[in-house]
C-alpha cells in the first residue's frame, strides 16, 4: 500500500465545530479528485467495524484525498442530533473543508451508506463541485415498503429453508404469531402506496435530486439486507426511479453475501475495490 498520512480537521458549520479525519496521499492527488464520506445515524466517522477507516485509507493509498467527518450532533462534533433530511449544511461545509485542505482538488465524490446515501441524493444537485456519488444500500423507508420487502425477501425465502420445516416438524414454529404478522404486513402492502413516495415525500426528494444530478453514480447493493431490498423493490415499481437509474453514468454492483454494513471481509474488500476502480473512471473524465 502506498504511503498515506492522516490528520484531524476541525471546521465549523453554522458556528458549530465539526471534527473530521483527512486521509491524504503523500504525493499529489489524482486528477484533482477528492472524496467526502458522509456518515448516517447512529454511526460516527469510523463506521461499523471501522468500515469507513478501511475505505478511506484504501482510497487515499490509490491517490484520492478522503475526508470522513462527524456531522452536527454525532461523534466528536458539537450541536444537537439531526435527521439525515437536515444534513445539507453539514455536507457542504465538509466539501468546503476538503477543498480548503487540498488546494489541488477541483471535483469531489460523496460516499454514503444507508440514510447518508439518502442525504447525498437530496444534496447533490446543489453543488456543482460534485463529480459523482457512491450510494451503498440507500434508505427509502416506509411502512408499506418494509412490509413488501419483508414478505418478498423473508417469508418467501423461509419457505425454501430446511431449518424452517424442521421447526414446523418439531412443533417449534409459532404459526399463530407468524400468521398474524404476515397478515399485518400484507395489509400494509395493500393499503400503502405502491411506490410509498407521494409527491414532496423524502423519497421524492431523493429521486428528484438524482434526476437533476449530472455526475456519475455507483450503487452498491447488499444481498442480505432488508434496507437494500426495500430500495431495489422501490426502484423496480416506480417509473421515476427506474428511469433515473437506467440512464448512462449509473452503475450498480451487487454483493449477494453481504449485510447492510459489509461486515464480511470478502464483501468489504470487494466494495472497496469497486469504489477504487470506479473513482479511476471518474478521475479520467
Q: Is 200 exposed, middle or buried (0-12, 13-18, 19+ CB in 10 A)?
A: exposed
pLDDT above 60 (res 105): yes
Residue 109 banded pLDDT, cuts 50, 70, 90 = very high
Average predicted confidence (pLDDT) for the chain: 86
Per-residue pLDDT for 252 more than 50? yes
Percentage of residues in the chain having pLDDT higher than 70: 78
**Percent of the chain residues past pLDDT 90, beyond the cut:** 72
* pLDDT attached to residue 95: 98
Identify the residue with better confidence: 223 or 29. 223
Hey, where are the domains in the chain? Answer: 4-141+198-283, 144-191
Assign domain 4-141+198-283 to its CATH architecture. 3-Layer(aba) Sandwich (3.40)
pLDDT for 96 equals: 98
127-155 tens-digit pLDDT: 999 999 999 999 997 545 444 544 454 55
pLDDT category at 112 given cuts 50, 70, 90 is very high
Q: Render pLDDT for 206-215 as a digit per residue (tens, 0 to 9).
A: 999 999 999 9
The DSSP secondary structure of 20-69, one letter per residue, reads: EEEEEESSPPSTTEEEEEEPPTT--TT-GGGHHHHHHHHHHHTT--EEEE
CB-CB contact of 78 with 16 (8 Å): yes
Model pTM score: 0.82
- From the list 230, 229, 265, 36, the residue with the least C-alpha distance to 143 is 230
The grid coordinates of residue 31 equal 486528477
Amino acid at each position: 500500500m502506498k504511503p498515506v498520512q492522516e490528520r484531524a480537521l476541525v471546521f465549523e458549520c453554522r458556528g458549530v465545530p465539526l471534527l473530521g479525519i483527512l486521509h491524504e496521499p503523500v504525493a499529489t492527488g489524482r486528477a484533482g479528485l477528492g472524496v467526502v464520506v458522509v456518515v448516517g445515524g447512529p454511526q460516527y466517522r469510523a463506521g461499523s467495524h471501522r468500515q469507513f477507516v478501511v475505505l478511506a485509507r484504501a482510497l487515499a493509498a490509490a491517490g484520492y484525498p478522503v475526508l470522513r467527518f462527524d456531522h452536527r450532533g454525532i461523534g466528536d462534533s458539537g450541536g444537537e442530533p439531526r435527521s439525515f433530511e437536515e444534513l445539507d449544511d453539514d455536507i457542504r461545509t465538509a466539501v468546503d473543508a476538503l477543498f480548503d485542505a487540498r488546494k489541488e482538488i477541483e471535483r469531489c465524490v460523496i460516499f454514503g451508506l444507508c440514510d447518508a446515501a439518502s442525504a447525498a441524493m437530496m444534496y447533490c444537485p446543489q453543488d456543482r463541485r460534485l463529480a459523482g456519488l457512491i450510494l451503498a444500500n440507500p434508505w427509502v423507508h416506509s411502512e408499506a415498503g418494509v412490509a413488501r420487502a419483508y414478505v418478498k425477501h423473508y417469508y418467501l425465502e423461509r419457505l425454501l429453508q430446511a431449518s424452517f420445516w424442521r421447526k414446523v416438524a418439531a412443533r417449534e414454529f409459532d404459526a399463530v404469531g407468524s400468521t398474524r404478522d404476515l397478515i399485518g404486513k400484507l395489509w400494509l402492502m395493500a393499503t400503502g402506496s405502491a411506490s410509498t413516495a407521494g409527491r414532496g415525500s423524502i423519497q421524492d426528494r431523493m429521486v428528484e435530486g438524482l434526476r437533476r444530478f449530472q455526475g456519475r453514480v455507483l450503487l452498491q447493493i447488499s444481498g442480505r439486507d432488508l434496507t437494500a431490498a426495500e430500495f431495489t423493490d422501490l426502484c423496480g415499481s416506480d417509473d421515476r426511479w427506474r428511469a433515473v437509474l437506467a440512464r448512462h453514468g449509473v452503475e450498480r454492483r451487487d454483493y449477494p453475501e453481504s449485510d447492510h454494513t459489509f461486515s464480511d471481509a470478502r464483501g468489504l474488500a470487494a466494495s472497496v475495490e469497486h469504489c477504487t476502480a470506479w473513482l479511476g473512471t471518474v478521475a479520467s473524465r
